[in-house]
Structure 1
Amino acid sequence: MGRVPGLTLERRQQALGMLVAGMPVNDVANHFGVDKCTVSRLRTRYQQTGSAKDRLRSGRLKKTTKRENNYIMMSSRRHQFWTSGKIAAML
């Protein structure tokens, strides 16, 4: 169960508030225009974790820092004909 599609964090919190207030899952789903199973998964995840936030996911680790990324972007704009190898060598 990853991110609940179609609902931002704010909308997820609103949906949980409606569920806690006793509103049926079908009504909450219709209100937000999402599938019933989306709201049901949200409720289940909230009961398990106590949070409406996205869960951490594994993924490829970053090889460069934000500062290095900014330098790469700035260099590529400033020196349009430099190759990626030359920019990498400048790091």
Structure 2
Amino acid sequence: MGRVQGLTLERRQQALGMLVAGMPVNNVANHFGVHRCTLSRLRTRYQQTGSAKDRPRSGRPKKTTQRENNFIVTSSRRHRFWTSGKIAARLYNTTRTLVCNRTCNRL
């Protein structure tokens, strides 16, 4: 995974601060409830990139925003007997975002 599991960006920065201050890895791992290897990967990434942020990920970019995803899910829950094609058409009429039926089925 690209993201260090169990740690938000803020918590990653706190952990790095503790490690830089000289705290033992085991103590920091126990404090945040993660494995030592997680912190070792975090420290290595920080040494390589100078940042605790996620690295860019490969893969196809998302076509819909989180707001559009919420629209699809809400529409399907409110109108249980609408087909995915009808939901896709409603999304297009509302936001001008063209999605296929399969996208509506997946969410």
State the percentage of identical aligned residues. Answer: 85
- Provide the rounded CA distance (Å) in 1 between the counterparts of 2:66 and 2:3: 25
Cα 1:40–1:68 shift into 2, 3 Å = closer
**Over residues 29-75 of structure 1, what are the superposed CA-to-partner deviations in whole Å (9 max), with x where a residue is unaligned?**
12222111111111110011111111121233223356654554564
1:20 has 2:59 as partner: no
The Cα shift of 1:12 comes to: 0.8
Q: Which 5+ residue runs of structure 2 have no aligned equivalent?
A: 93-107
TM-score of the aligned structures, taking structure 1 as reference length: 0.75
1:41 has 2:25 as partner: no
- Asked which structure has the greater RCO (Cα within 8 Å, sep 6+), the reply is 1
TM-score of the aligned structures, taking structure 2 as reference length: 0.66
Match of 2:56 in 1: 56
Cα 1:67–1:17 shift into 2, 3 Å = closer
2:47 partner SS: helix
Code of the aligned partner of 2:33? G
Match of 1:8 in 2: 8
- Count residues with an aligned counterpart: 91
Cα 1:70–1:18 shift into 2, 3 Å = closer
Match of 1:31 in 2: 31
- Provide the rounded CA distance (Å) in 2 between the counterparts of 1:25 and 1:37: 9
